[in-house]
A and B are shown apart, each in its own frame.
Chain A
Amino acid sequence: EVQLVESGGGLVQPGRSLRLSCAASGFTFDDYAMHWVRQGPGKGLEWVAGISWNSGIIDYAGSVRGRFTISRDNANNSLHLQMNSLRAEDTALYYCAKDSRITMIRGVVGYMDVWGKGTTVTVSS
């Protein structure tokens, strides 16, 4: 069964750090790009960051660039999100999602075909 399981969420004070992880199974992890998507309380979906199969292409939403770092460990089929300098507006349910492509390039149809159930991050003092 194709599965993504997120972990690492919790309550953290503003300005502090948190590291999220996503364990993948049921598919060849290093054949696909991966992403983090978040959803604030009562809000819509926001793409956060993406990483190609070999970490050669990495991109971030403007709202997190310079504070968050996405990484992957293909040997252990895992995706990570290091979140520094957290703000109240980073409070959200964070989803891990599999891309249909090996890398994020123009000219190739891309979509998120597998999602985890999410892990909740709350930034509050």
Chain B
Amino acid sequence: DIQMTQSPSSLSASVGDRVTITCRASQTISTYLNWYQQKSGKAPKLLIYAASGLQSGVPSRFSGSGSGTDFTLTIRSLQPEDFATYYCQQSYSTFTFGQGTKLEIK
């Protein structure tokens, strides 16, 4: 099974900051990597698919990059509504999620 490891597990930042979350796969997955945002008490929401594709309706301050085993999610100029937990997910072989990164207000 492919394991996904996110870092950091939690992160404190301020409105307006630029934030980067990383995700590493236990084996190469090309660009079969997705990112989701989950707010407290809500279902996950797709942000980025195929490593860098921006899902329709998602603000352009969100971006993704990477291929192979190492990937990043970047949020440029944090907004109050961006404080949430973020998950990466590989779709190279069925699906596996990372453990999540909780983004909190500093």
Contacts and interface: CB of A to CB of B under 8 A. Distances in A.
A85 to B, nearest CB: 22
A115 interface: yes
A100 B94 contact: no
Interface residues of A, number: 22
Interface in A48-67: 50, 59, 62
A109 B49 contact: yes
B54 to A, nearest CB: 12
A59 B46 contact: no
A110 interface: yes
A47 B46 contact: no
Given A95-B43, A111-B91, A115-B44, A47 B32 contact: no
A113 interface: yes
B66 to A, nearest CB: 15
B34 interface: yes
Q: Nearest 3 A-B pairs (CB), nearest first?
A: A115-B43, A47-B95, A110-B91
Interface of A: 35, 37, 44-47, 50, 59, 62, 95, 100, 104, 106, 109-113, 115-118
24 contacts: A44-B97, A45-B44, A45-B97, A46-B97, A47-B94, A47-B95, A47-B97, A50-B94, A50-B95, A62-B1, A104-B94, A106-B92, A109-B53, A110-B95, A111-B34, A111-B49, A112-B34, A112-B44, A112-B46, A112-B95, A115-B45, A116-B43, A117-B43, A118-B43
